[in-house]
Amino acid sequence: MKYGEKEIKKFDINNKENFWPNKNKNDYTIKITLPEFMCKCPRSGYPDFATIYIEYIPNEKVIELKALKLYINSFIDRYISHEDSINEIFNILEKKLKPKKMKIVGDFNPRGNVHTIIEREKDVKSKIN
C-alpha cells in the first residue's frame, strides 16, 4: 500500500484537529471545488466521477483543507450512490461546522447517457433545509 492510500485509510473526519476556529467575526463565503471525486456504483461497481462544489458561510469553525481532501478521497473505494454521497458529505460538514449557510453540489460525469447533479443546501437565516 502506498503512503497516500495509508493516509486515506487511517483518516477520520471526526477528529477535532480537522476543524479550526474561525477567527473572523464578519460573514464571508468559502467556496471550494473538488474536481476529482470518485466513488463506486453500489449496484454495478463501476466508478462514478464528479466535481463537488462546497460553499459555506462559517460560524465558529472552518474545515482544514487537507482534511477535506482526505475525506473526499476516502470515497474512492466505497460503494455509494450519488444521492447518498452528497448527503453524507453535507451531514458531516453541517454537524461539525454548524455553518450559517451551506450548499453542496455534486456534478456527476455522465454514464450510460445520464448526467446527474445532486444539490443540498441549508440557510440558517431563512430556514431552508
Active-site residue, selected from the candidate residues 41, 77, 84, 123: 41
- Which of the four pLDDT bands, split at 50, 70 and 90, describes residue 123? confident
Domains and CATH numbers, the chain: 3-123 (3.30.1130.10)
- What percentage of residues in the chain have a pLDDT greater than 70? 95
Query: Higher model confidence: residue 79 or residue 111?
Result: 79
Mean pLDDT of the 46-66 span = 97
Per the structure block, which three cell numbers stand in for 79?
460503494
48 in catalytic set: yes
As a whole number of angstroms, the distance between CA 97 and CA 81 comes to 24
pTM across the whole model: 0.92
Residues 91 and 120: beta-carbon distance below 8 Å: no
Pairing of strands 61-63, 19-21: antiparallel
Active-site residue, selected from the candidate residues 48, 77, 107, 123: 48
Summarize pLDDT for 72-92 with one digit per residue, the tens: 999 999 999 999 999 999 999
pLDDT surpasses 70 at 126? no
41 in catalytic set: yes
- Helices then strands, counting H and E runs in the chain, come out as 3, 6
